[in-house]
Structure 1
Amino acid sequence: MDSGGLAELDGRIIGCRACPRLVEWREEVARTKRAAFADETYWGRPVPGFGPADASLLIVGLAPAAHGANRTGRMFTGDRSGDVLYQALYDVGLASRSTAVSADDGLSLYGVRITSPVRCAPPANKPTPEERDACRPWLVRELELLRPSLRAVVVLGAFGWQAVLPAFAEVGWVVPRPRPAFAHGARLTLGARLSPGSIELFGCFHVSQRNTFTGRLTPAMLRDVLGTAAGAAGLPTKPYAS
């Protein structure tokens, strides 16, 4: 794995200003802040992926939260969605701790990297199709760099599913036509036109408050998807309630 290449990519992502609406929004949020974080310095920039450069399991979200990753500078860190995700990763044995509060909290991931198809916090958590497409080259390059070790991918939500399939195809995995629809619990094998070989793709409801507060996505459902995906990626897990 080209760890230098991935670190270089992360640095380039941080400096991106390609989408005027997203740049304006992320920086406005960083200036005005939420009252609970008034004393903090917000990140207010695009958010790179988080996790080891030789990850065999990739988790794909949607976009940074305005007062989560846009504040802390790390994927799914500092918000309730992240609380749910990292608790499940810890329960399954893929994270060193169950909470993620800041970029320097000592959290480590084991064989897992977390990324998103849109790197800037969007207004109302809704990127436009144009913003999604403008951000795709970052995801494509990240997949290219992860490809030697990557064995499985968990996609959180329909937006991420729709965004990531063209990126997989561009990197060299074979995406069926017509493209398969998103569903929680979906599992799809993507063959490869080039070596190394295939990857396993898993669909999971997003860890949004709307899904977790209503019970549409329960901790057990999330642990089950993560545990199955970890097995497909060849990662050891610890016993967990499914």
Structure 2
Amino acid sequence: MPSFGPADARLLIVGLAPGLNGANRTGRPFTGDYAGDLLFATLAAYGFARGDYAADPHDGLTLVDCRITNAVRCVPPENKPTGTETRSCRRFLAATLAAMPRLRAIVALGRIAHDSVVAALGGSRANVPFAHGAHHAISDLRLYDSYHCSRYNTNTGRLTPEMFRAVFADVSAWLSERGDD
């Protein structure tokens, strides 16, 4: 699954893996499943997306100063990637990071995405623990953590839309303070 959004964006969102009935079917990350509904509405609310999201890659939605990729590039069995799959795909994540010259902030959606980003950046998971709403400095980047915006997490109350928006409010404020756009 290729990344979605401009390579010169300052924000990168890292999801888990393409959804079987979402991105795998539509060819665009987070498109066609519930996680995309919450993600794209939140991105639009904070100026990181423009246009109408209609769960179709031809809906005209564009990302603004934002790109989306996944820690694992193909649909894992039962939506649970193995450690081997995650490690095998890390080179794609590292290449995505390297190809973004203006990258300043990363939002990791879930622990697997977080751990993969930390490893791709050469950090230590022990020194950079995952916690929803946390942020960490890794070299010249800031890594923000959020629970994944999956239907399961929102239906169980582990992640509310307000909690999710709070992460992006923090990211937006930090990027605005930097002013290096």
Which one has a bigger Cα radius of gyration?
Answer: 1
Specify which structure has the bigger relative contact order, considering alpha-carbon pairs within 8 angstroms and separated by 6 or more residues: 2
Match of 1:158? Answer: 111
Question: Quick one: which of 29, 39, 42 aligns to 1:85?
Answer: 39
Match of 2:28? Answer: 74
Question: Quick one: which of 112, 122, 128 aligns to 1:180?
Answer: 128
Question: Quick one: which of 90, 96, 100 aligns to 1:142?
Answer: 96
Match of 1:203? Answer: 145
Answer yes or no: is 1:62 the counterpart of 2:16.
yes
- Relative to structure 1, is the Cα distance of residues 213 and 177 closer, same or farther in structure 2, using a 3 angstrom cutoff? closer
Q: Distance in 2 between matches of 1:177 and 1:102?
A: 36
Answer yes or no: is 1:128 the counterpart of 2:82.
yes
Q: TM-score, normalised by structure 1?
A: 0.70
Where do 5+ consecutive residues of structure 2 fail to align?
none
- Relative to structure 1, is the Cα distance of residues 190 and 118 closer, same or farther in structure 2, using a 3 angstrom cutoff? same
CA contact (8 A) 2:52 2:59 kept: no
- Relative to structure 1, is the Cα distance of residues 206 and 177 closer, same or farther in structure 2, using a 3 angstrom cutoff? closer
Q: Distance in 2 between matches of 1:101 and 1:215?
A: 24
Q: Which has the higher strand share?
A: 2
CA contact (8 A) 1:85 1:207 kept: yes
Q: Per-residue CA shift, 1:25-65, capped at 9, x if unaligned?
A: xxxxxxxxxxxxxxxxxxxxxx1110112110010110000
- Relative to structure 1, is the Cα distance of residues 121 and 177 closer, same or farther in structure 2, using a 3 angstrom cutoff? closer
Where do 5+ consecutive residues of structure 1 fail to align?
1-46, 170-174, 192-197, 237-242
- Percent pairwise identity: 47
Match of 2:156? Answer: 214
The structural deviation recorded for 1:95 is 0.9
SS in 1 for 2:107: strand
Match of 1:3? Answer: none
CA contact (8 A) 1:117 1:163 kept: yes
Q: Match for 2:127: what amino acid?
A: R
Match of 1:189? Answer: 137
Aligned length: 178
Q: Match for 2:146: what amino acid?
A: C
Q: Distance in 2 between matches of 1:185 and 1:229?
A: 10
Q: TM-score, normalised by structure 2?
A: 0.92
Q: Per-residue CA shift, 1:46-94, capped at 9, x if unaligned?
A: x111011211001011000001000000000000111111111112221
SS in 2 for 1:189: strand
Answer yes or no: is 1:115 the counterpart of 2:69.
yes
SS in 2 for 1:90: helix
The runs of 4+ residues in structure 1 deviating greater than 4 Å are none
Q: Distance in 1 between matches of 2:127 and 2:19?
A: 28
The structural deviation recorded for 1:177 is 6.7
RMSD: 1.7
- Relative to structure 1, is the Cα distance of residues 100 and 166 closer, same or farther in structure 2, using a 3 angstrom cutoff? farther
Question: Quick one: which of 79, 102, 105 aligns to 2:56?
Answer: 102
The structural deviation recorded for 1:98 is 5.1
